[in-house]
Structure 1
Amino acid sequence: MTITRRDAIKLGLKGGAALGACLAAPSIVLAQGRRPTLPYGVMSGDMLADRAMLWARADRPARLLLEVADNPEFRGARQIRGPEVLPATDLTARLDVTGLGDLDTAYYRMRFAALDDHRAISEPITGRLRLPPTTRRDVRFVWSGDTAGQGWGIDASRGGMTTYATMRRQRPDFFIHSGDTVYADGPMEERVTLANGETWRNLVTPEKRKVAETLDEFRGQHAYNLMDANVRRFNAEVPMLAQWDDHETVNNWYPGELLDDPRYTEKNVDLLSARARRAFLEYTPLRQRPDAPGRIHRRFAYGPGLEVFMLDMRSHRAANSRNRQAGGEAATFLGRDQLRWLLDGLRRSTATWKVIAADMPIGLMVRDGEHFEAVANGHGGEPLGRELEIADLLRAIRDEAIHNVVWLTADVHYTAAHHYAPERAAFKDFAPFWEFVSGPLHAGTFGPGELDATFGPEVVFQKAPPAGQSNLPPSDGYQFFGQVDLDGESEALTVTLMDAAGSALHTQVLTPERA
């Protein structure tokens, strides 16, 4: 099914109404076509104890009107006159709302007033978000990655992106999107014949018919995912911490790359990634710092029990290679500044659990032709190449007695629990730790991958397609997310790997180590 942007706006409005978001009509009744709409719903994210980022998009130039309250009826709501939205930001609004420190749950209601007629006010759409606690309490969050990849888009006849609906039913406090939030390099066909003879029917927009190269085409990748009713409803109820990986730009990219791909007229990846970064920042509720514009790595304390460190494993890397350098700039992965930021944050953290949200795994070999795309290099011996940065980090975590560090990641399109221990490793200067892998949310399924022995990983659990099968569609059921539950009293951390139906596949209970 081909759909235009005008159709998408109509579809988004109907989806918003289906959520029961229309709670009050504007005081002046105008023709529907004169009033703005919010075609892609609302979002929140980057929560701190007293503030959060809110997001919405209008269908025309307009001003955001916001209400915030401590109750779903919006009694005594605080009124906020938000920013104007213009084509320069693709009509998206991102607002850093402060003064929320006395709230456990914030309810917000967003409207737009047209700039050419201030009487023309949109129907409202509501959302909610739970703010980080200041005292001990139970916390639940979910994580996964990889949305609308490998040609598998929105098939309305199959319920759309149903993993988002399953995650929403878990009622998490927040969601970590571990990257590949879109597939800007993955054009879609309207129909795909499945192995069982059935037909997968994609909703397709003009931007999804080709690889993204222009800023508007990158924006269209993000807008596409928000056409799914499951995604919009999830976003309205669960705040997001977003990170990016490669497919927001192009597969396996690195700074300075020149593409050898006939699908692209623009070969300069630095230019493509600049456009991709701008679209990503416009379409996610990610807070930007004036002193670090465009920065994606950041950290979030979530009460005394938990702190989340969001990494950027894409922006600072050197070129993909055989990844066996003995050191030097060619071995860069996280980069010196980000490594310093991470280690300093881990040192300073007073949280019991330090969760490192990584967009790529440590020990799995992720290949880029004859080169390597992630950390591992297949050598299996002492650290080389990008492994050197990780070795330095792991050694410092051990030497400085930084306890209870857990890694969460996605990227490889199956789910697994990996335990790393020095007695199994070629490199032994680190303390044992866990890495949990999940995804995809709605994309082709692959795997399992091969582990590199440098840091001594062991597969405790994994679920992937049967041997010899790859790029399985979402309808085959191999879609995954992870759930993390922090017990506020005991501070035990329970990690559960789950499938798209909400079935628990593997559960690991971690007991905190005390200093």
Structure 2
Amino acid sequence: MTSRNDLQSSLNSPAPSRRTVVKAAAATAALGAPLTAIPAHAAERPAFHHGVASGDPLPDGVLLWTRVTPTPDAVPGSGKGPDTEVAWEVAEDKGFTRVVGRGTTTARAESDHTVKADVRGLHQATTYYFRFSVGEVHSPVGRTRTTPAHDAAAHGVRFGVVSCANWEAGHFSPYRHLAARTELDAVLHLGDYIYEYRSGEYPSAEYVVRQHEPQHEIRTLADYRTRHGVHKTDPDAQAMHATHPVIAIWDDHEFADNAWSGGAVNHSPETEGDWAGRMAAAKRAYFEWMPVRPSTEGTVYRRVRFGRLADLHLLDLRSFRSEQAGFGSGEVDDPDRTITGRAQLDWLKSGLAASDAAWKLVGTSVMITPVAFGSLPAHLLKPLAELLGLPGEGLAINTDQWDGYTDDRKELITHLRDNKIRNTVFLTGDIHMAWANDVPVKAATYPLSASAATEFVVTSVSSDNIDDMLHVAPHTVSLVAAGALKAANRHVKWLDMDSHGYGVLDVTAERSQMDYYVISDRTDPAATSSWVRSYRTLNGTQKVERVHNPVR
């Protein structure tokens, strides 16, 4: 077999990310020792404290990842520790008696001692096992899977789907439950893998479950590396990464809240320095710590194909977007404003038109479905506005989502309609709620007008939603808001404003079905999981319909 070892180096192109949430009182909560610290009893020998991961699978290969701690003081972001040679192996069995590939690379301080191996020469649609080693010290064993051949008639594909994992708000139980589902082909992470806030800012200190490290807002390369390092110590995150290839895109909190190409809501040049430098640092740390191949100019927009069954188009909605429009200004309709950038929108349109796959899946970090407000009581409008990115007064448009960039959305939806592109399904995270939507050509006249696509939105892994912000029991107060939103938006078929959890998307030639699962308690590291709803899009319909049982 052939292989290519790839150690991620500096990425210098500026760019941003997004999402607005409540800014609570600033305080700190002492909840134990920093998780980036190496145990005091650790010997002076290399270790794999941050687990292993794989991502961006291909028919003949996959990207493997780990982080080596060569000496106890070489913690993430420290810049300490010697260059260390790291070997990797890929095998057909857990015991590594049938090894099909080997290679070496070097962990260096300049890349925070993270390493990647871009392995090729594997068989399509096959499960493999992998591990790294330094001398006689082995990493945990990881499991991964390649995709079907590009021209293969794949019978089905299943993804776990997650977004918005706030360390301080709770544990990452959805990751653990996805790790237990060994039938999945991959996990799709739709952004907000980390949050940039200082400790006690979101949620407020009294509700912090476990403390950020570093405790201040992250701004520098060392800060972002440290925060990523903490997340890779989470046992549920390690389990998910060790079991499935992860296909990830970023949203705003990998950088700063409501980021755009020239800044962010949560960034002040006067007190926090140059935005381009902060974004470059955040991107560099992201590519070091995530099992992701950077595409053109260090962005994350790219495609992953699953035979002739599905093309997955992944978007970067932070690097090229215009600044969010002022509220009520009419700027949302300005054709010179963009959420994708011209090159990315053309890339997406051409890819959708050229695809011969049965399903065109689009991973988007923010919701494309238009949303207008009906009549909501003031006490419900405020937390809903915060989650959707609206000012407290409330208006009909969320200017951080596609609602704030209507010309790009109109061009894309018109392209789908005019070219008779069928079976486009948007997969979305960001707003800490679960939705099942038709994507109408003209929302004001729907359902008399056509639906051009459908959208499945998954809720958060742990980040605050309506009941968390109001500190009330789930599915009580929010039912009024949900009813009003559905009444004002007939293309919205279902939404859950209160739960935390994940989705499982099952795709066959006949339909794409999203099964929605919720966890019992985000503050409980042993939280259970249960199925709540399922919706599907049948081949050729461009509409969602309820299903009364999950696929499995």
| DSSP 3-state at the match of 1:391 | helix
User: Matched residues in 2 for 1:432 and 1:43: separation?
Assistant: 36
**Aligned partner (choices 78, 101, 107) of residue 123 of structure 2:** 101
**Aligned partner (choices 280, 290, 307) of residue 286 of structure 2:** 280
Alpha-carbon deviations, 1:28-72, whole Å to 9, x = none? xxx962321111100000011111111000012322211111222
**Aligned partner (choices 169, 183, 190) of residue 152 of structure 1:** 169
Q: Retained in 2: the 8 A contact 1:486–1:492?
A: yes
- Counterpart for residue 380 of structure 1: none
Mapped pair 1:415 → 2:430: no
Mapped pair 1:177 → 2:189: yes
Cα offset for 1:457?
A: 5.5
- Counterpart for residue 269 of structure 1: 275
| DSSP 3-state at the match of 1:494 | strand
User: Matched residues in 2 for 1:67 and 1:221: separation?
Assistant: 28
| DSSP 3-state at the match of 1:392 | helix
| DSSP 3-state at the match of 2:53 | strand
The letter for the 2-side match of 1:491 is E
User: Matched residues in 1 for 2:42 and 2:533: separation?
Assistant: 50
Alpha-carbon deviations, 1:242-271, whole Å to 9, x = none? 111111111112122376767984243222
- Counterpart for residue 136 of structure 1: 154
| DSSP 3-state at the match of 1:54 | strand
Cα offset for 1:414?
A: 1.3
- What percent identity do the matched residue pairs reach? 25
**Structure with bigger RCO (C-alpha 8 Å, 6+ apart):** 2
> Mean Cα displacement is larger for which, 492-501 or 402-411?
492-501
Mapped pair 1:47 → 2:80: no
User: Matched residues in 1 for 2:443 and 2:35: separation?
Assistant: 54
| DSSP 3-state at the match of 1:355 | strand
Alpha-carbon deviations, 1:218-247, whole Å to 9, x = none? 111111111111110111001111111111
- Counterpart for residue 116 of structure 1: none
- Counterpart for residue 85 of structure 2: 63
Mapped pair 1:483 → 2:490: no
Q: Retained in 2: the 8 A contact 1:415–1:480?
A: no
Shift of the 494–260 alpha-carbon distance from structure 1 to 2, 3 Å rule, reads closer
Q: Retained in 1: the 8 A contact 2:442–2:449?
A: no
The letter for the 1-side match of 2:157 is V
User: Matched residues in 1 for 2:319 and 2:285: separation?
Assistant: 15
- Counterpart for residue 127 of structure 1: 142
Shift of the 429–419 alpha-carbon distance from structure 1 to 2, 3 Å rule, reads closer
User: Matched residues in 2 for 1:361 and 1:328: separation?
Assistant: 19
- Counterpart for residue 98 of structure 2: 76
Cα offset for 1:432?
A: 3.3
| DSSP 3-state at the match of 2:260 | coil
Alpha-carbon deviations, 1:84-108, whole Å to 9, x = none? 0111010000111111135611111
Mapped pair 1:314 → 2:318: yes
Cα offset for 1:193?
A: 3.9
Supply the RMSD in Å over aligned alpha carbons. Answer: 3.0
- Counterpart for residue 14 of structure 1: none
- Give ranges in structure 2 of 5+ residues lacking alignment: 1-30, 71-82, 373-387, 393-397, 467-477, 520-527, 543-552
| DSSP 3-state at the match of 2:263 | coil
The letter for the 2-side match of 1:439 is T
| DSSP 3-state at the match of 1:356 | strand
- Counterpart for residue 304 of structure 1: 308
Q: Retained in 1: the 8 A contact 2:154–2:306?
A: no
- Counterpart for residue 163 of structure 1: 174
- Counterpart for residue 380 of structure 2: none
| DSSP 3-state at the match of 2:506 | strand
User: Matched residues in 1 for 2:305 and 2:399: separation?
Assistant: 33
Shift of the 316–102 alpha-carbon distance from structure 1 to 2, 3 Å rule, reads closer
**TM-score for the superposition, normalised by structure 1:** 0.80
User: Matched residues in 2 for 1:185 and 1:203: separation?
Assistant: 11
User: Matched residues in 2 for 1:463 and 1:181: separation?
Assistant: 21
Q: Retained in 1: the 8 A contact 2:36–2:230?
A: no
Shift of the 453–390 alpha-carbon distance from structure 1 to 2, 3 Å rule, reads farther
1:104-503, aligned counterparts within 5 Å?
A: 104-113=126-135, 121-134=136-149, 135-148=153-166, 151-153=168-170, 160-171=171-182, 172-188=184-200, 192-193=205-206, 201-205=209-213, 207=214, 209-257=215-263, 265-289=271-295, 292-322=296-326, 324-325=330-331, 326-329=333-336, 331-362=337-368, 363-364=370-371, 366-367=388-389, 369=391, 372-377=399-404, 386-422=405-441, 424-425=443-444, 431-446=451-466, 458-465=491-498, 478-487=499-508, 490-500=509-519, 501-503=528-530
| DSSP 3-state at the match of 1:141 | strand
Cα offset for 1:275?
A: 0.9
> Mean Cα displacement is larger for which, 278-287 or 166-175?
166-175
| DSSP 3-state at the match of 1:432 | strand
**Aligned partner (choices 25, 33, 36) of residue 3 of structure 1:** 33
Shift of the 485–260 alpha-carbon distance from structure 1 to 2, 3 Å rule, reads closer
Q: Retained in 2: the 8 A contact 1:191–1:201?
A: no
The letter for the 2-side match of 1:145 is S
The letter for the 2-side match of 1:70 is E
Q: Retained in 2: the 8 A contact 1:256–1:268?
A: no
